[in-house]
Amino acid sequence: MDVVDIFSYAWGGIKLRKLRAALTTLGIVIGIAAIVALLSLGEGFRIVITSQFERGFALDVLTVTAGRGLLANIITGSGSEEYLALNDTYTMNEIAGVRQATATLSKSIGISQGNKTYMVTAVGINFTEYSTIYSTSFQLEDGSMSLNPANDSIILGYRLHDPWKNGTILFNVGDYINLTWTTGSITKPIVKRYTFHVVGVLKEIGGISIFGPSDIQAYIPITTAQKIFETDQVSQIQVQLVSSEQETIDSVTNSIKNIYGDKVTVISPSAMLNTFSSILSTVQLLLAGLAGISLLVAGIGIMNIMIVSVIERTREIGILKSLGMKNKTVMTIFLCEAALIGLVGAAIGIVFGLGLSNFVTNFVFPLISTGTSQPNGQGNRVISNIVPVLTPTVCVGAFFFGIATSVLFALYPAWRASKLKPVEALRYE
């Protein structure tokens, strides 16, 4: 019996019990739809997160912080004894492969307008060096940047200028703004006030910034920052490399480690991106695994139905055998029935899954991300930017996975059918 005949015979068997076949198929549809929806949402999420990171990032910039890194400090419970100072940039500038190093000093401050105070991060920078290193993101929308800025100069991230994107301007170039910095102890806070002159507003960067420029930061000269924050330390040193190749990253990282030992932590954006990406992939895999459970249930459903079907069609199997059909052909017919159910189920499932993920991004996520009115709100923007992405791999994979599941769970019933003895099968009422 050739393949076409086998398939058309199997199709006839499915058509005979339409409702039953439809319900069995529904199981596969749900399983595949769940997998496709979760994977395409996950992929969309990954793309948004990655692109948001990349927007603030410069891949050729290493970030050096004092101590063994944030996590180590939390675990050991001690702040870092060592610290980095402005002149450490000179040391790093000497390292081969370094184009330029610049120091930054970040503190949390309040910016007041009327009776409202917004908590933002003030970053002390060397305007010239910083804007060279982050030349793609640190660009002015308005105002001008002096190479020798006045001590009270401040450049604002875009969201401090136009947080709601509806024309309601918070601060503009030329404004004088009040900055408050709280020091002292919690019980005896000392609030210090300073006035700054807005000399520039940055273009919108978008994304989430970890080390690079961000829409929700305010930038002041680092010398001023050290003065008002009463410290000679710096928070980080940004080291721009001559290239973003892994070799350069590794050699400079090693050089820094050789000089400072364990007293500093060097973070490369690409390494962070990789770590983050692998975490997201793991999460995605976990989600797909959960969705896979529903496919497992569907598979058991297929097995159940097929066993019933084999029992019901015992006599038919006997007839086929009496007409000279071989065992393996009988088995193939039942496997084909399962494969057809899997094929239809998987195809519909993929469409449903894509529809489901689009429904979620279009109707469910907007409900979550409403009410974002704070200039420093970030997470909501990530959610509202997610567009489900169905990669060809996932699409083809889900398709064959659906078919494979159906066939796999039909193996036993089909084998049982093929092993029926013709005499007994024909005698079956």
Partner 1 sequence: MAPVVQTINLHKTYMLGKVPVNALRGVDLEIESGDFVAIVGPSGSGKSTLLNLIGALDRPTEGKVIIDGVDVSTLNDDELAELRRRIGFVFQFFNLIPRLTASENVELPLAIAGVKKRQRKEKTSELLKAVGLSERAGHNPTELSGGEQQRVAIARALANEPRFLLLDEPTGNIDSKTADMLILLLRKLNEERGVTIIMITHDLNIAKQAKRIVRILDGRIIEETSNIAT
| Residues making contact with partner 1 (CB under 8 A) | 1-2, 5, 9, 12-13, 15-16, 315-316, 318-329, 421-423, 426
Whose Cβ is closer to partner 1: residue 15's or residue 116's? 15
Which contacts of 380-386 are long-range, i.e. CB under 8 A and separated by 24 or more positions? 381/206, 382/45, 382/48, 382/49, 382/52, 382/208, 385/48, 385/52, 386/41, 386/44, 386/45, 386/48, 386/361
286 Cβ contact partners less than 8 Å away, ≥ 6 residues apart:
none
Paired residues of 206 in beta bridges:
none
User: To the nearest whole angstrom, how small is the minimum distance from the Cβ of residue 274 to partner 1?
Assistant: 56
Q: Give the containing element (helix H, strand E) for 216.
A: none
Whose Cβ is closer to partner 1: residue 10's or residue 264's? 10
User: To the nearest whole angstrom, how small is the minimum distance from the Cβ of residue 385 to partner 1?
Assistant: 53
Paired residues of 42 in beta bridges:
none
User: To the nearest whole angstrom, how small is the minimum distance from the Cβ of residue 384 to partner 1?
Assistant: 53
- How far apart CA 49 and CA 45 sit, in angstroms, is 6
Whose Cβ is closer to partner 1: residue 2's or residue 81's? 2
Paired residues of 85 in beta bridges:
233
User: To the nearest whole angstrom, how small is the minimum distance from the Cβ of residue 423 to partner 1?
Assistant: 4
Q: Name which of 380, 372, 294 is nearest 38 in CA terms.
A: 294
User: To the nearest whole angstrom, how small is the minimum distance from the Cβ of residue 333 to partner 1?
Assistant: 11
410 Cβ contact partners less than 8 Å away, ≥ 6 residues apart:
302, 303, 306, 334, 335, 337, 338, 339
DSSP codes joined into one string, 317-353: HHHHHHTT--HHHHHHHHHHHHHHHHHHHHHHHHHHH
Which tokens belong to 263? 């007293």
Q: What is the dihedral of CA 224, 229, 230, 231, to 10 degrees?
A: -90
Residue 287 gets the label, from left (phi > 0), alpha (psi -120 to 50) or beta, of alpha
* Helices and strands per DSSP (H, E), number in the chain: 15, 12
- Amino acid of residue 317: I
Paired residues of 62 in beta bridges:
239
User: To the nearest whole angstrom, how small is the minimum distance from the Cβ of residue 36 to partner 1?
Assistant: 34
Whose Cβ is closer to partner 1: residue 31's or residue 318's? 318
Q: Name which of 386, 351, 346 is nearest 366 in CA terms.
A: 386
Which tokens belong to 341? 């159910």
User: To the nearest whole angstrom, how small is the minimum distance from the Cβ of residue 422 to partner 1?
Assistant: 4
Whose Cβ is closer to partner 1: residue 273's or residue 426's? 426
Whose Cβ is closer to partner 1: residue 41's or residue 420's? 420
Q: Give the containing element (helix H, strand E) for 112.
A: strand 98-113
Residue 239's alpha-carbon distances to 102, 248, 271, 318, in angstroms, are: 7, 12, 15, 79
Tell me which DSSP letter residue 190 carries.
E
- Amino acid of residue 19: L
- How far apart CA 106 and CA 236 sit, in angstroms, is 8
